[in-house]
Amino acid sequence: MSPPLTRRRVLATAAALTLARPAISRAADRPALSHGLQSGDVSGDGAVVWARADRPSRAVIAWATTESFRDIRGGVFVDALPESDLTVKTALQGLPPDQDIHYRVRLQNLAEPTILGEPITGRFRSAPALARDVSFCWSGDTAGQGWGIDESRGGMTIYAAIARNRPDFFLHSGDTIYADGPIQAEVRLPDGGLWRNLVTEEKAKPAETLSEFRGAYKYNLLDRNVLAMNREIPILAQWDDHEVTNNWWPGERLTRAEHRRKGYADANSLVLAARATRAFHEYMPMRFEPAEPGRVYRRVSYGPHLDVFLLDMRSYRGPNGANDETEPSARTQFLGPAQLAWLKRALKASRATWKAIAADMPLGLVVTYDTDAGFGSEGVAQGDGPPLGRELEIADLLRFIRDQDIRNTVWFTADVHYTAAHHYDPSRARFQEFAPFWEFVSGPLHAGTFGPAALDDTFGPQLRFVKAPPAGRQNLSPAEGYQFFGHVAIAGATGQMTVTLKDAADTDLWRTVLDPA
């Protein structure tokens, strides 16, 4: 982050850079933006913008409410240095609400300040102060199971489908990368054809070094669909397990059969998590919390109709064990005490019509931790019956929401690599001290498709819709079309929410309309 520039200083800096342009072109010496632009965590008066340089540079970032940039309203400069892998991100502040914000990034070579790169522009719309129509898309799971960028098939085309919907923002529900998933040059398809991946050195093996974790983010940013969406649609990002390694939990020893197959040199998962956390925060356009630098959970308010509560179901959990404890303890933690207390306070304080709870895992789907041994619980659900293990923490949260009369909570999630709609109702549940609510599942964005998983009756979920691979088929490639995202539209006049589940071709698969209480 850098101190803000005044309008006068921004204009003076821009003029000085223009005057400093050399008469003779030195194209090879011009710094370039290597992986596009991103914006994120947009509110009514601020947003985070991100870029990466190809060499040490000073990034001069200006913003305006017009595409011509004739009236520059503000900006900052940030230095792209090797210590941050040449990434820069900064908070734009003092934005007018409900306005198209155009931002421009231009690089100045630190070694030769008279040499400038070509500017690149991006845009987003700031959150409204008054009620208006609002929309967002969500999904998760990018470049998993070895399905990378096949340029002959158009790359990650689902990102282009999301962009065509022109949402106010895109919620990435976790597994933003697959740090533990190598990308090989070719994958043989069931029909005998070939999936031909774009390959990089950092994605040739599971990530262990900081450079390899960074390389996983840079890999996704090689896709033209991702780059185009990022310049136009702000991102709200959270993480799950594959930003580190499959099904990890803090303190886990990397000694399972899966870990041995992946060849990890260090058996300490916290070493991987520390490097992964740094890379995630370097490459995601999200706010920085000085009180907890690695923090992912936060609230993003987008106008009077919508608050988004992004959760972190990975960093504070207890061990992925049998999940059958009858009393709360450190072993039953999933959100953890601090995050759970924050969520309760934030939900109670929210005055938004809808409280969108962005969870990186579903609540009622049973997911096995160690598939080789057939042991352990990866998520909340552990099987039919009264609350046990991590379900105790979720039961406490759901009871709090009911008792405090917090209305219009809707859960959005990904993780399981198919799309579904679940309705939870106490009349069907073993635990009944909560108000009915919806949970919508989508994904993958660009990964293997799996499922469906079994529903646990503890909180009374009912399956209202599902689209998953046919029986007996798993890890379907993106070429088969089982890639999914969701679209949410909130009407400004009525507050009515319409949720639509879609596939990569932007086909509407299922829809429901929710009236606010």
**Nearest Cα residue to 69 out of 17, 116, 122:** 122
Residues 312, 286: Cα–Cα separation, whole Å: 14
Reading the block at residue 273, the tokens are 């998590």
User: What does each C-alpha distance from 70 to 5, 51, 65, 308, 446 come to in angstroms?
Assistant: 17, 22, 9, 34, 39
Q: DSSP class of residue 201? A: S
What pLDDT is recorded for position 3?
47
**Long-range pairs of 76-82 with CB within 8 A, sequence gap ≥ 24:** 76/2, 76/3, 76/4, 76/5, 77/2, 77/5, 77/13, 78/1, 78/2, 79/2, 79/110, 80/51, 80/52, 80/53, 80/56, 80/107, 81/56, 82/56
Q: Cis omega before residue 444 (within 30°)?
A: yes
Residues 298, 289: Cα–Cα separation, whole Å: 9
Asked whether the beta carbons of 282 and 275 are under 8 A apart, the reply is no
User: What does each C-alpha distance from 516 to 146, 270, 308, 310, 493 come to in angstroms?
Assistant: 42, 43, 16, 21, 12
Reading the block at residue 49, the tokens are 């913008």
Residues 115, 279: Cα–Cα separation, whole Å: 29
425 pLDDT higher than 80: yes
22 pLDDT higher than 80: no
19 pLDDT higher than 50: no
Q: Which residues contact 341 (CB under 8 A, 6 or more apart)?
A: none
Q: Indicate the pTM of the whole model.
A: 0.94
User: What's the mean pLDDT in 238-256?
Assistant: 97
469 pLDDT higher than 60: yes
Average per-residue pLDDT for the chain: 94
Pick the range with the lowest mean pLDDT from 16-30, 43-57, 113-127, 441-455.
16-30
Q: What are phi and psi of 348, to 5 degrees?
A: -65, -35
User: What's the mean pLDDT in 214-225?
Assistant: 98
What pLDDT is recorded for position 28?
86
Residues 260, 352: Cα–Cα separation, whole Å: 48
387 pLDDT higher than 90: yes
Q: Is the dihedral of CA 324, 244, 226, 127 positive or negative?
A: positive
- Enclosing H/E stretch for 75: strand 72-80
Q: What is the 3-state secondary structure (H, E, C) of 82-115?
A: HHHCCEEEEEEECCCCCCEEEEEEEEEECCCCCC
Residues 502, 482: Cα–Cα separation, whole Å: 10
What is the SS3 assignment for 414? Answer: coil
Residues 119, 89: Cα–Cα separation, whole Å: 16
Per-residue pLDDT reduced to its tens digit, 474-500: 999 999 999 999 999 999 999 999 999
Q: How many CB atoms lie within 10 A of CB 144?
A: 25
